[in-house]
Amino acid sequence: MSPELKDLDKLMNCRFSCRGFLTKAVEQKFIDQIIETAQKVPSWCNSQPWQVILLRQETRELLSEKLVYSADQAFETPDIDFPKRYAGVYKTRRSTCGWQLYNAVGVQKGDREGASQQMAKNYEFFGAPHVAIITTPKDLGAYGVLDCGAFITAFTLAAAAIGVSSIPQAAIAGRAPIVREVLNIEEDRDVLCAISFGFADKDNPANSFRTQRADLDEFVEWV
Ligand SMILES: Cc1cc2nc3c(=O)[nH]c(=O)nc-3n(C[C@H](O)[C@H](O)[C@H](O)COP(=O)(O)O)c2cc1C
C-alpha cells in the first residue's frame, strides 16, 4: 500500500458515526476548513449542488424543540422517499448495526420504549454543538443527491482528520416540513439530511462500538 493510501485508509478507519457529543464548540476556522476540503469532491458538470445550512445555537435549539415535539408522530414525510424496504443482505446488515447500537446503550429485545427513546436522540442531534443541514436542488434529481452524498462523506472524513466527530442523520429528513419551516428552505430544494458534529464523548456507550464492512467478494464482480 502506498503511504498516501495508508493515510486515507487510516482516516477511513478512524471515522465513525458519533451518537454522543461533548458541548465544546469547534472553532469556526476549523468548520470552514472541513467544508473547504469536502467541497473538492466531484459532481456532475461540477454543479456542486449541496447547500449547507449551519445552525446557530438558538436555531439548533428551536429546531430540536420542534422535532422532539413531533417525535411521537410515527409517520415520516421526507422530501425524497425513504427506502421502500431492506431485504436480504441489506436487512441483515441493517439489523446487525441496529443491534450493535442497542446492545451498546442497553436496549433489550422487545423494549420498544427504549428503542424509540434512542431514536428520539436524533432530534436532539445527539447533543452535538454543531449541525449542518444539507439540501439539494429538486431539478437535479437523483444525480444531485448522488453528488451531495459524496460531499457528506467527504465532510465526515475531513472532520475526522482534525479530530472532529460527526454523524449524517437522515432521520431529520423524515420531518422535512418542520426543517423547511424553521430554516425557511425554498420549495425548489429537497432536505437531504443533517450532519451533526463536534467532539465525541468517548464515555458515551453509544460511541463504544464500530460497524463492520462486507468482504470484497460479496459485492465486487469482475466480468
Ligand atoms: C445518508 C446517511 C444517513 C444516516 N442517518 C442516520 C440517522 O438518521 N440516525 C443514525 O443514528 N445514524 C444515521 N446514519 C449513520 C449510519 O447508521 C452509519 O453510517 C452506519 O451504520 C455505518 O456506521 P459508521 O458510520 O459508524 O461506520 C446515517 C448514515 C448515512 C450515510
Domain locations in the chain?
18-83+123-209
Q: Hey, what amino acid is at 204? A: N
Spatial separation of the C-alpha atoms in residues 152 and 136, rounded to whole Å: 12
Q: Hey, what amino acid is at 138? A: K
- Residue 180: predicted pLDDT: 98
Question: Ligand 1 within 6 A of 134 CB?
Answer: no
Cell of 223: 466480468
Cell of 87: 431485504
Nearest partner of 39 among 128, 142, 134, 163, judged by Cα? 134
Spatial separation of the C-alpha atoms in residues 156 and 160, rounded to whole Å: 6
Checking DSSP bridges between strand 130-137 and strand 165-169, what pairing results, if any?
Answer: unpaired
Q: Hey, what amino acid is at 111? A: D
Q: Within a 13 Å sphere around the CA of 196, how many CA atoms are in the beta-carbon half?
A: 28
Spatial separation of the C-alpha atoms in residues 65 and 109, rounded to whole Å: 29
Q: How far is the CA of 50 from the centre of ligand 1 (A)?
A: 19
State the CATH class of domain 18-83+123-209. alpha beta
Per-residue pLDDT of the chain (223 residues; tens, 9 = 90+): 999 999 999 999 999 999 999 999 999 999 999 999 999 999 999 999 999 999 999 999 999 999 999 987 778 899 999 999 999 999 999 999 999 999 999 999 999 999 999 999 999 999 999 999 999 999 999 999 999 999 999 999 999 999 999 999 999 999 999 999 999 999 999 999 999 999 999 999 999 999 999 999 999 999 9
Burial class (CB in 10 A: 0-12, 13-18, 19+), 125: buried
- Residue 43: predicted pLDDT: 98
Q: How far is the CA of 139 from the centre of ligand 1 (A)?
A: 26
Buried b (16+ CB within 10 A) or exposed e, 187-211: eebbbbbbbbbbbbbeebebbeeee
Strand, coil or helix: 55: coil
Nearest partner of 183 among 29, 24, 27, 51, judged by Cα? 51
Cell of 127: 447533543
Q: How far is the CA of 168 from the centre of ligand 1 (A)?
A: 6
Question: Ligand 1 within 6 A of 122 CB?
Answer: yes
- Residue 161: predicted pLDDT: 98
The protein residue with its alpha carbon nearest to ligand 1, atom 27, reads 16
- Residue 76: predicted pLDDT: 87
Spatial separation of the C-alpha atoms in residues 44 and 205, rounded to whole Å: 40
Spatial separation of the C-alpha atoms in residues 19 and 178, rounded to whole Å: 22
Helix 57-70 and helix 176-183, axial crossing angle in degrees, nearest 10 = 150
Spatial separation of the C-alpha atoms in residues 32 and 135, rounded to whole Å: 18
Question: Ligand 1 within 6 A of 207 CB?
Answer: no
Question: Ligand 1 within 6 A of 171 CB?
Answer: yes
Question: Ligand 1 within 6 A of 78 CB?
Answer: no
Q: Which pTM does this prediction carry?
A: 0.97
